[in-house]
Amino acid sequence: MTPDPDEDGFDAGTLGETIATDPIIRGTDVVKEYETGGQIVRALKGVDFSIAPADFVAVVGPSGSGKSTLLNLLGLLDVATSGEVRLRGEDVSTFTDREQTRKRKETIGFVFQSFYLIPTLTALENVEMPRMLDRTPTKTRERATQLLERVGLGDRLDHYPDELSGGQKQRVAIARSLINDPDILLADEPTGNLDRDTGDQILELFDELRSDENVAVVTVTHDDYVAEAADRVVTLIDGRIRDTESRRANFEEGPDP
């Protein structure tokens, strides 16, 4: 095994900096194939990626280019067919289903295009939902209330999803994704069902989260204004990364040199 440059910290003098840019998740030559009806579809044809804390990465590309597939791999919902995905240095392909679920809970927050709130639960309960089984109802409630206030829904705690607007639902969903203090927020077209103004509010929220809590945001999007707001835009075409555009100097593409 080759030593992992991210873990040994041989450059002690720049330790603080190293931690700041230490990737949370990194993929090398990742291939993902699906088998349907005897036919093999290569959704990802060898991509490299690296997400560091407070990154804001937008994944763009035509439909069917593998954006959601990539997000699923980042979110530990799926494992790569070949190549390597490491979560804080650990090879995710060695995880059992239980470990995978636990790591997902600890590190990842999901935001979906169609929100996927649970209609039988109030806004507050939806936010609490990922921690409902933890049997820490008091703490969870405090945190959930705090998060809903933070996304501007402090006055909607007891509303059910069907009593909320699309933007409000998405903000509830974002609050939900944050309840376990994730390191990465994965969003699959979070603004896809929202108008521009509402979408802008969501983007502002992302910015706040990054600066306040060091949360990395990876979002798949078809909206140009979302891509423009990102630090880095990854363009996927037919399962390959065509183009990575860095907008800010402090975020570098790919693994450390």
Residues, the chain: 257
Subset of 69-108 contacting ligand ATP (CB under 6 A): 69
For another protein, which is the closer residue by CB, 109 or 190? Answer: 109
Q: Measured between alpha carbons, how far is 72 from 36 in angstroms, rounded to an integer?
A: 18
For ligand ATP, which is the closer residue by CB, 141 or 222? Answer: 222
The conformation of residue 24, written as its DSSP 8-state character, comes to S
Indicate whether 237 belongs to the interface with ligand ATP (CB under 6 A): no
CB 214 within 8 Å of CB 221? no
216 is written with which tokens? 């990395």
Degrees to nearest 5, angle at CA 47 with 39 and 108:
100
Number of H helices, E strands in the chain: 9, 10
Indicate whether 137 belongs to the interface with ligand ATP (CB under 6 A): no
Q: Measured between alpha carbons, how far is 246 from 1 in angstroms, rounded to an integer?
A: 32
Return the residue of 63, 94, 96, 120 that touches ligand ATP, per CB under 6 A: 63
Question: Cβ of residue 212: shortest distance to another protein, in angstroms?
Answer: 21
Question: Cβ of residue 59: shortest distance to ligand ATP, in angstroms?
Answer: 8
3-class secondary structure, 75: coil
Indicate whether 66 belongs to the interface with ligand ATP (CB under 6 A): yes
Return the residue of 36, 38, 98, 162 that touches another protein, per CB under 8 A: 98
Question: Cβ of residue 188: shortest distance to Mg ion, in angstroms?
Answer: 6
Site string for ligand ATP, 22-41 (x = CB under 6 A): ------------x-x----x
Indicate whether 224 belongs to the interface with ligand ATP (CB under 6 A): no
Indicate whether 97 belongs to the interface with another protein (CB under 8 A): yes
CB 112 within 8 Å of CB 169? no
Q: Measured between alpha carbons, how far is 194 from 245 in angstroms, rounded to an integer?
A: 25
Q: Measuring CA to CA, how many Å separate 147 from each of 7, 74, 115?
A: 33, 24, 16
Indicate whether 104 belongs to the interface with another protein (CB under 8 A): yes
CB 242 within 8 Å of CB 236? yes
Indicate whether 121 belongs to the interface with another protein (CB under 8 A): yes
Q: What, of ligand ATP, Mg ion, another protein, none, does residue 40 touch, CB below 5 to 8 Å by kind?
A: none
Subset of 42-61 contacting ligand ATP (CB under 6 A): 43, 61
Indicate whether 68 belongs to the interface with Mg ion (CB under 5 A): yes
Return the residue of 13, 16, 37, 119 that touches another protein, per CB under 8 A: 119
Indicate whether 64 belongs to the interface with ligand ATP (CB under 6 A): yes
52 is written with which tokens? 């560091």
Q: Is 91 exposed, middle or buried (0-12, 13-18, 19+ CB in 10 A)?
A: exposed
Q: Which residues bind ligand ATP (CB under 6 A)?
A: 34, 36, 41, 43, 61, 63-69
